[in-house]
Amino acid sequence: MKKSIALLLALLLMTAVLAGCGGNSGKLTMATNAAFEPYEYYENEKIVGIDAEIAEKIADKLGLELEIRDMEFNSILGAVQTGTVDMGMAGMTVDEERLKSVNFSDTYANGIQVIIVREDSDIKSADDLKDKQIGVQDATTGDVFATDDFGDDHVKRYSKGSDAVLALKNGTIDAVIIDNEPAKAFVRANEGLKIVETEYANEEYAIAVSKDNDELLEKINKALKELKEDGTIQEIIDKYIPPEGK
C-alpha cells in the first residue's frame, strides 16, 4: 500500500513538472482563431501566419512540439484558464477584463483597429459612427471598444470577422471595426469596400497563459526576449507585413 501511494505521488509530481513546461506529452498547445490573416489563417490545410511562426520558435526554445488548435475566438481564454491548452495566441490584446481570468506575456507585436465601410459610405472617421450599426468579431477588442464608445444597441457581434464583412457588403450593417492587417485582407477580397483613413485605436498583442502556470509564462517571456533581441520576431512580422517601400 505504501509503495502504491509513493508511486502515485511520484507520478503526480512528474505530471506537475511536465505541465509547467507546457503539457505532459512533450507538446506546447496553442489555442487560436485561424481566421485572422496575417496573424493566423489557413494555407491549404495548415495554420500559418505571424502568431503561428512565433509560437513555433517559442516551442523550439522550450524543446517542445507545437500543436495549434483552431477554435472560436471567444473560447480561447476559457481553454487557457481551464488548462485545456497551454497558451492562447490570436492577435490578442491585454485588457483589464481578460486579466481577471488569465495572465499575459510581454508584448510581441502592435496592432491598429480600423473601420471598414462600403466605398459609397459617408463615414469618414469614428465620429461618424454615432447611431450607426457596427459589426465586430465577438469578444475582440473591437467589440469592447465599439460597445464602450457607441453602446450595445449599435454593435452587432459575429463569430468570425469574415461574417461581419459579409454583413457590411450586404448592407445589413454600416461599418466593421477590426484589426488593420485582417482588414486589408478583407478589403482585397471584397470589391466595393474600403478602410477609413483615420485609425480607430492602437493596441499591443500578447500571449495568454493560465494564472496557475507561472513557470510557463516565465519561459515564454524569456523566449520572446531572445527572439526580439536576435531579430527573429521582426523578421517574421516583416515576412507577412512588408515594411513601407519594400
Q: What is the mean pLDDT of the chain?
A: 91
- Is it the case that residue 5 has pLDDT exceeding 90? no
Matching residue, cell 526580439: 228
pLDDT at residue 22 in the model: 55
Strands laid side by side in the 65-70 sheet: 65-70, 27-32, 87-88, 208-210, 102-104
| Domain 25-108+206-240 and domain 112-203 have a common topology | yes
- Is it the case that residue 8 has pLDDT exceeding 50? no
How sure is the predictor about 102, in pLDDT bands with cuts at 50, 70 and 90? very high
Q: Where are the domains of the chain?
A: 25-108+206-240, 112-203
The answer to whether 151 and 145 are in contact (CB under 8 A) is no
pLDDT at residue 178 in the model: 97
Q: How far apart are the first and last CA of the chain?
A: 69
**Phi/psi at 202 (nearest 5 deg)?**
-110, 145
**Phi/psi at 149 (nearest 5 deg)?**
-85, -35
Quote the pTM value: 0.83
pLDDT at residue 243 in the model: 85
The answer to whether 35 and 162 are in contact (CB under 8 A) is yes
- Three-state DSSP class for 55? helix
- Is it the case that residue 76 has pLDDT exceeding 60? yes
CATH class of domain segment(s) 112-203: alpha beta
Closest Cα partner for 80 from 69, 65, 91? 69
Distance CA 202, CA 113 (A): 6
Grid cell listed for 213? 502556470
pLDDT at residue 25 in the model: 76
**Tens digits of residue pLDDT in 107-117:** 999 999 999 99
Distance CA 120, CA 129 (A): 15
What's the CATH architecture for 25-108+206-240? 3-Layer(aba) Sandwich (3.40)
Matching residue, cell 524569456: 222
More confident residue, 151 or 8: 151
Measured between alpha carbons, how far is residue 208 from residues 85, 86, 91, 150 in Å? 10, 9, 10, 28
